[in-house]
Structure 1
Amino acid sequence: MYLILFSVFACLSTCHGVVEKDENQDHCDLLKQWLKSSSVSVELRKNGFHREVVTTVDLRPGGMRFVKVLLVHRWPRGVYVDPFQLASLSGQHNWQTLLDSAIDLEVPAHKTSGFVIYVYPSYDALPPTLLKVTVPIHGRYHEPSFVGEAFTSVDLEAPDLLLRTDNCTEVKSIMPHAAVDAPCTVNNLSTCQWFQIQCQKDLGPISLPIPVGDGSLEATICGSTLLVTIISCMALSKHMWKHRII
């Protein structure tokens, strides 16, 4: 009797393991299909120092309830984002952001470094086929040019699109897509393994022109400023002496 029960339990356990393995493989196959078919496009809007980078994610095919999406923006030191502005926008849109470091809004470009933003789209049910994320960026002040150039260029790379699912953790099943470690959620409490879509050959960097000062005028501007300051001080001193202002 005990031998029969043991055999039954062993058979059920084996069947459950096979079914679970098949389900995980199905999820891996679907995730790999998403990684192969999905794409990213980027558009730069507005003019001057204050711009908007609009990222459109085309998720194909639709209907994958279990997939999670992450955009990783790697920004150069020539631009910055306002964390308070991002926080206010996150409350108005279906995405949240996580910064990898503190942002100093006042530092010029040559005294700061690049940074990373993790963008987590949120949705209640199925993820939409098209996701749009608009990130406002601002140009930093650059060192003046001593060769007569009025503008400098900052190259903005397209964000990395990362996907993952809790039901597929086998890296070999997702090859040749690279596995990347990134925060699981916007709360940054733990790190998960995400998978990156392959690079799109037609998706190059966007050039952002930023005006710079003319370094050749430095001596003229400094001399003029000093002269105006001296004349103003002399005129103010004469006025105070004339009217006995102490």
Structure 2
Amino acid sequence: YRDLLIKVKFGESIEDLQTCRLLIKQYIPAGLFVDPYELASLRERNITEAVMVSENFNIEAPNYLSKESEVLIYARQDSQCIDCFQAFLPVHYRYHRPHSKDGETFIVVSNPDLLMYCDQEFPILKCWAQSKVAAPCTLKNKDICQWNNMKYKSVYKNVTLQVPVGLTIHTTLVCSVTLLITILCSTLILVAVFKYGHFPL
């Protein structure tokens, strides 16, 4: 698995924007998944403020039976940078079909949407904002706020992850070894049961 770390740095001081909140809407491609139970545990330990948006989400499904999902992350101000925010999200690889030649595949994680909500209007928001997006005001508050979808300059165009996958030429070998190990283990279990088991007459 990988930890996705998102950092946002404003081009100028945000001392006048202390009443503003930053929300990151991250799109998770089909080749990855976010574990909602893991997110709940991380929220309880105050490690991250992320929540799944997508419904009917199956973390066990392979890559080819999955679709893109969405996660909302309430960013926190960076204690080491007065005009910086950061957000943390753990992501996991899904199972991918084996390839005939290359033993790897690539997953592209698109840049997120950057949403900002302020208790009062600032002129600079009119320059940055490009549309309005409805989303929960806070993680613990189910009230809906109209967030500003902000324009920003990304350091990287997209994030590309390299994922190792199996090779189709190994299919016969893997299946044969798996079957032999299964038969061996089953035989050992049966021998142990009949040798040491106590059966009532």
- Bucket of the pairwise TM-score, normalised by the shorter protein: 0.7 to 0.9
| Closer/same/farther in 2, CA of residues 130 and 223 from structure 1, 3 Å limit | same
Would you tell me which structure has more strand in proportion to its own residues? 2
Aligned to 2:3: 52
Aligned to 1:177, the other structure's residue is in SS state strand
User: Deviation at 1:108?
Assistant: 1.2
RMSD, matched Cα? 3.6
Select which of 89, 92, 96 maps to 1:138.
Answer: 92
Q: How does 1:28-39 map to 2 (within 5 A)?
A: none
| Closer/same/farther in 2, CA of residues 217 and 196 from structure 1, 3 Å limit | same
Aligned to 1:205: 158
What is the percentage of aligned positions where both structures have the same residue?
A: 26
Distance 1:114 1:225 in 2: 32
Would you tell me which structure has more helix in proportion to its own residues? 1
Aligned to 2:130, the other structure's residue is in SS state coil
Q: Is the 8 A contact 1:67 1:165 kept in 2?
A: yes
User: Deviation at 1:87?
Assistant: 2.3
User: Deviation at 1:187?
Assistant: 4.3
User: Deviation at 1:221?
Assistant: 3.8
Distance 1:122 1:201 in 2: 19
Q: Deviations over 1:50-82 (max 9, x none)?
A: 111111121442222321211111110111122
5+ long unaligned stretches in structure 1: 1-49
The reply to whether residue 62 of structure 1 matches residue 14 of structure 2 is yes
Q: Deviations over 1:87-123 (max 9, x none)?
A: 2323444642221135433221111212111111367
Q: Is the 8 A contact 1:94 1:122 kept in 2?
A: no
Aligned to 2:102: 149
TM-score by length of 1: 0.61
Aligned to 1:84: 37
Q: Is the 8 A contact 2:132 2:147 kept in 1?
A: yes
Q: Is the 8 A contact 1:94 1:121 kept in 2?
A: no
Aligned length: 185
5+ long unaligned stretches in structure 2: 196-201
Aligned to 2:169: 216
Aligned to 2:91, the other structure's residue is in SS state strand
Aligned to 1:163, the other structure's residue is in SS state strand
TM-score by length of 2: 0.73
Larger radius of gyration: 1
